[in-house]
């Protein structure tokens, strides 16, 4: 499982954008580097991060080799009512990780 961290505000206003922050533990090896003895280091990157709110996808991003190790993503989501926010990520080896948080609407 690929570990990561997720932070959402404790309470948000209905209909107003709030900030979602995601930090993922991943080497993001771009495939262009070599070991000291010349061997290629194979590409190993997180390819997709998706966020669902109440089961519906509200944000997704396809990452490439230009993203540094341990990607840090910040994006905005609007909520009409309280629900569960879930962020999932998957890398090019098919390994997955996720984090979830409850969002309270004031």
Residues of this chain that interact with another protein (CB under 8 A) are: 3-5, 7, 21, 23, 25, 27-28, 68-70, 72
Q: Minimum CB separation from another protein for residue 21, in Å? A: 6
Which residue lies nearer to another protein by CB, 14 or 25? 25
Q: Minimum CB separation from another protein for residue 55, in Å? A: 25
SS (H, E, C) 41-96: CCCECEEEEEEEECCEEEEEEECCCCCCCCCEEEEEEECCCCEEEEEEEEECCCCE
Provide CB contacts within 8 A for 104, sequence distance 6+: 10, 11, 12, 82
Q: Minimum CB separation from another protein for residue 8, in Å? A: 10
Which residue lies nearer to another protein by CB, 3 or 16? 3
Which residue lies nearer to another protein by CB, 9 or 17? 9
Measured CA to CA, the distance from residue 11 to residue 98 in angstroms comes to 21
Which residue lies nearer to another protein by CB, 79 or 99? 99
């Amino acid at each position: 499982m690929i570990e990561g961290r997720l932070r959402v505000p404790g309470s948000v206003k209905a209909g107003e954008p709030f900030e979602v922050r995601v930090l993922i533990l991943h080497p993001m090896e771009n495939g262009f580097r070599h070991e000291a003895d010349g061997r290629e280091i194979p590409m190993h990157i997180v390819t997709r991060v998706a966020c669902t709110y109440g089961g519906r996808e509200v944000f997704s991003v396809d990452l490439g080799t230009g993203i540094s190790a341990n990607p840090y993503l910040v994006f905005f989501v609007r909520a009409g009512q309280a629900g569960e926010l879930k962020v999932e990520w998957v890398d090019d080896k098919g390994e997955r990780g996720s984090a979830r948080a409850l969002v309270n609407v004031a």
